[in-house]
Structure 1
Amino acid sequence: MLALLEELVNIDSGSYDVAGVTRISTRLSGLLADIGFSIKRLPVPERADLVTATLRMGGQGRLVILGHSDTVWPAGTVAEWPYTRLDAERATGPGVGDMKGGLVMALFALRALIADGFNGLESIRLILVPDEELGSANSRPVIEAQARDADVVLVLEPGRPGGGVVSARGALGAFFMKAHGCSAHCASNYAKGASALRELAGKVVELDGLSDPDNGAIVNVGVLQGGTARQVVPGEARMDIDLRARTDAQAATLHAAIERIAADSRDERVQVELSGRLTRPAFTGERNRALVALAQSVAGELSLPIFEAPPAGGGSDGNFTAALGIPTLDGLGPVCHDICSRQEIIELQSLVDRAALLCGLIRQLPSLLSQGH
């Protein structure tokens, strides 16, 4: 497991790096094909292919396992921050937890189940998404088409420190403002200039003011860029906005407020364009109670710590399957800390522990489904 983890982490596979993402999915596809899975590559506009690996069995119930081949880290990251064992218990590197550790864990869990003769389900399908870190905006229709007939979905996003799993997530949105003004030299022709950057900068406080984190509402201006030189009134500027909400209704309210702020012009000479949308629907834990209970039972048999984490502010592709009404349990990957940061760390023992948890869950799914859950 450690050898494969190091190999995958040392492949740059940022979402926009089509070649790198393809290398990850190709490597995993080959290993899955070796244990009997049928591989399909499905095109995704402007991204690497989405890959499905399907194994037909003789039992009842269709399981989908959701994973992704991309990371948040652009090409060139590995050269300066490669996979590194920090000590006997921890490792770091780009995507070591989110989610290359989860992919390694799932592969070895499936390999162990098949070697042991498990065939209790009708099928297992592992989906490798190429653009999850971008909100899966381009691949969402493919994900939904490939998962729509599933009875259960298990998601390989990192486990929470202490052994948490995720049964509910909030809604997400990604929005982009572009401002078009008029550039001019600030000394010789200041009055002619119409600052696109000033127009957007004036909106930052209003947008940030929409946040109410105690109630699950966050609007974050993560990028504000504009201008070409210090002595030039900036004629162009852009802003990237992230939205998080506890419910779909709350997300819709925040979306409307962002639209209002975009339309409220301070300088009529500057045109502001707003693009983007709500990218992931919220899902609650009601449909997932039986899966949580099963995970707790399996963890108890294995003497592993487990708890149901509070509804997550971050999204995953599980948001889509849960919105389709499919019981979905998330956060089943290895235990990780500080994901999507330079401090991202995986607890190495959890590769084995959580693989055992995943094996136990899959083994018990036929019994759970026969009870009508």
Structure 2
Amino acid sequence: MTLLADIEADIEAMVTCESPSSDPVAVARSADLVARIGTQRLGAAPARHGANLLWRWGGEPKVLVLGHHDTVWPLGSLATHPFSVAGGVMRGPGCFDMKAGVAMALHALAALDDLDGVTLLITSDEEIGSPGSRTLIEESAAGCAAALVLEASADGGALKTERKGISMYTVRAHGRAAHAGLEPHRGVNAALELAHQALTVAALADPQRGSTVTPTTFAAGTTSNTVPAGGEFAVDVRTALGDEQDRIDAAMRGLQPVLAGATLEVTGGRNRPPLPGSASAELFARAQRIAAGLGLPPLASAAVGGGSDGNFTAGIGIPTLDGLGAVGGGAHAADEHVLVDRLPDRTALLTALIRDLLG
């Protein structure tokens, strides 16, 4: 088989082994599969940390290659979005984000004669914020000269050189129930308190500094004729700057109730620090030079709002380059797809970049 055929076969095997982050049985099954494929391609079995897979070669760590095998797609998605390859386009749940990237990492490393200093980590909970793998990611990155993240590319194959930091909060209001028709004045309306707080929270955004603060899901009350005694809403925060993450965190924790008799509870906090352009600049320039030397299409860069495990490696001071995975689009959406003809050249770029970093 050709390199492309092998990569396609590995992606198909991974995509057809569904792995929603929130399903431990499915994720464990996916980890078993990725471990088997990785052992076959690399000639070495990974160390298992739950459903996270770690390969390490040599003593002194130099390069961390990072990816994840969990997806946002629930079990049964293959019934409505089956794996397919037609007209040079691969489709299937999780193919772009980021099972193609996992396969590319395995084949890129398999093409190297010397892996001394390389660590490969494939995590299992990235799509839900990496609660169980963050420590392993940071420990694996410590001391490395570079972290290369196989998340899918940005539009047109651009590498992701900046990512916003992410914070997530829940704002809960506690009031007092009363009959909405007979004596509403005896109640303390938690829904109304939440409405006041949502306006306050949304006003914390600062578009000029790249900060968004978005109230998202809301829930309050029990029945349509009862003053709500409790409720909550979620808040999604994205910040390009670390000091903005600090500012918004302090403001969230300082929220005060507006209605007499209401109380507030704020939980959550920072999930991922920002990945600033300074963390990726040298690596991106190196990748551009290598791509030109290989005769590949010129590399572009992109700043994106979504986070990845690369935020964690950048957060501890490791130079980090993201978006080295597949070219395509539609992550998390019905039109998720990979451009098949770009798989070999992106894999070759990764191989050359790792070789250069080890050299």
- TM-score normalised by structure 1 residue count: 0.86
Equivalent residues in 2 for 1:104-143, closer than 5 Å: 104-113=103-112, 118-119=113-114, 121-143=115-137
Residue 22 of structure 1 aligns to which amino acid in structure 2? A
Equivalent residues in 2 for 1:352-367, closer than 5 Å: 352-367=344-359
Change (3 A) 1:231 1:218: same
Equivalent residues in 2 for 1:127-206, closer than 5 Å: 127-206=121-200
Task: Note the C-alpha offset of 1:61.
Answer: 5.7
Partner residue of 2:341 out of 339, 342, 349: 349
Residue 345 of structure 1 aligns to which amino acid in structure 2? H
Change (3 A) 1:170 1:191: same
Distance 2:37 2:58 in 1: 17
Distance 2:69 2:226 in 1: 42
Alpha carbons 2:14, 2:34 under 8 Å: kept: no
Change (3 A) 1:173 1:315: same
Gaps of 5+ in 1: 44-48, 368-373
Gaps of 5+ in 2: 1-6
Match of 2:32 in 1: 26
Match of 2:74 in 1: 74
Distance 1:357 1:346 in 2: 17
Distance 1:107 1:361 in 2: 14
**3-state SS of 1:276 partner:** strand
**3-state SS of 2:57 partner:** strand
Match of 2:4 in 1: none
Residue 72 of structure 1 aligns to which amino acid in structure 2? V
**3-state SS of 2:140 partner:** helix
Change (3 A) 1:81 1:207: farther
**3-state SS of 1:346 partner:** strand
Partner residue of 2:49 out of 42, 48, 56: 42
Query: How much is the aligned-residue C-alpha RMSD, in angstroms?
Result: 2.4
Change (3 A) 1:94 1:233: farther
Partner residue of 1:8 out of 14, 22, 35: 14
Task: Note the C-alpha offset of 1:247.
Answer: 0.9
Alpha carbons 2:209, 2:241 under 8 Å: kept: no
Match of 1:371 in 2: none
Aligned length: 352
**3-state SS of 1:65 partner:** strand
Distance 1:50 1:143 in 2: 10
Distance 2:176 2:234 in 1: 21
1:328 is the counterpart of 2:335: no
1:52 is the counterpart of 2:54: yes
Task: Note the C-alpha offset of 1:249.
Answer: 0.6
Task: Note the C-alpha offset of 1:76.
Answer: 3.8
**3-state SS of 1:194 partner:** coil
1:133-165 alpha-carbon deviations (Å, 9 max, x no partner):
222233212211222132221101111222211
Query: Once superposed, which parts of structure 1, at least 4 consecutive aligned residues long, lie more than 6 Å away?
Result: none
Alpha carbons 1:11, 1:78 under 8 Å: kept: no
Residue 93 of structure 1 aligns to which amino acid in structure 2? G
Change (3 A) 1:271 1:75: farther
Alpha carbons 2:101, 2:325 under 8 Å: kept: yes
1:276 is the counterpart of 2:275: no
Change (3 A) 1:190 1:12: farther
Task: Note the C-alpha offset of 1:219.
Answer: 0.8
